[in-house]
């Protein structure tokens, strides 16, 4: 999805931020979960197509396959998190107004402490709104369901928690 057609807003910076967070989490033994959306046959995110593949720079970690924007719906994400004792989630990814939004709200409703990484989610222009406006809107609205913090603050938080 990242490389399909028009690139997601701020693509290179997004990829750099996510890979930096992922590497830091892995170096600190913080579990990393990659959520991979699968769409029906003939759609851009059809299983096995290039649009479905996880970006090579992000690969690694536990992969959860989903069929809807909600990463918990009809997946074993909750069970996987519970098995590892995870109570706090840090959300990144695409698409801000769809999967990121839905998963953030659902995680909150399930009792997880959620942090939306403000500079590590993105989307495309919608035809009505610019991608940057959609991202900023969601950073504001999702404050009802999550802490919203920049990646640099999260890395600092992780380092302070471990010291």
Predicted TM-score of the model (pTM) = 0.94
Catalytic status, residue 104: no
Architecture of domain 85-162: 3-Layer(aba) Sandwich (3.40)
CA–CA gap between residue 81 and residue 33 (Å, rounded): 9
Which residue ranges make up each domain of the chain? 85-162
Catalytic residue among 64, 99, 116, 149: 99
pLDDT per residue as tens digits for the range 99-147? 999 999 999 999 999 999 999 999 999 999 999 999 999 999 999 999 9
pLDDT of 42: 86
Instruction: Indicate if the pLDDT at residue 151 is higher than 90.
Output: yes
Instruction: Indicate if the pLDDT at residue 4 is higher than 60.
Output: no
Question: What is the average pLDDT across 82-102?
Answer: 97
Where is pLDDT greater, at 32 or 4? Answer: 32
150 half-sphere exposure, CB direction, 13 A CA radius: 3
Tokens of 135: 């991202």
Tokens 């590590």, located at residue? 120
- The predicted-structure confidence for 17-52, as pLDDT tens digits, reads as follows 999 999 999 999 999 999 999 988 888 887 888 778
User: Phi/psi at 90 (nearest 5 deg)?
Assistant: -120, 110
Q: What is the pLDDT of residue 46?
A: 78
């Amino acid at each position: 999805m990242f490389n399909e057609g028009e690139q997601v807003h701020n693509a290179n910076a997004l990829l750099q931020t996510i890979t930096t967070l992922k590497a830091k989490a892995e170096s600190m033994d913080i579990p990393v979960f990659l959520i991979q959306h699968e769409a029906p046959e003939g759609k851009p995110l059809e299983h096995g197509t290039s649009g479905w593949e996880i970006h090579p720079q992000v690969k690694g970690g536990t992969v959860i396959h989903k069929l809807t924007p909600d990463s918990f719906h009809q997946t074993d994400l909750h069970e996987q998190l519970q098995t590892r004792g995870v109570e706090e989630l840090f959300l990144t990814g695409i698409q801000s107004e769809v999967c990121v939004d839905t998963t953030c709200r659902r995680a909150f409703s399930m009792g997880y402490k959620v942090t939306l990484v403000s500079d590590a989610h993105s989307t495309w222009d919608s035809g009505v709104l610019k991608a940057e406006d959609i991202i900023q809107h969601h950073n504001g609205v999702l404050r009802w369901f999550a802490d919203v913090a920049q990646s640099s603050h999260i890395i600092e938080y992780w380092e302070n928690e471990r010291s």
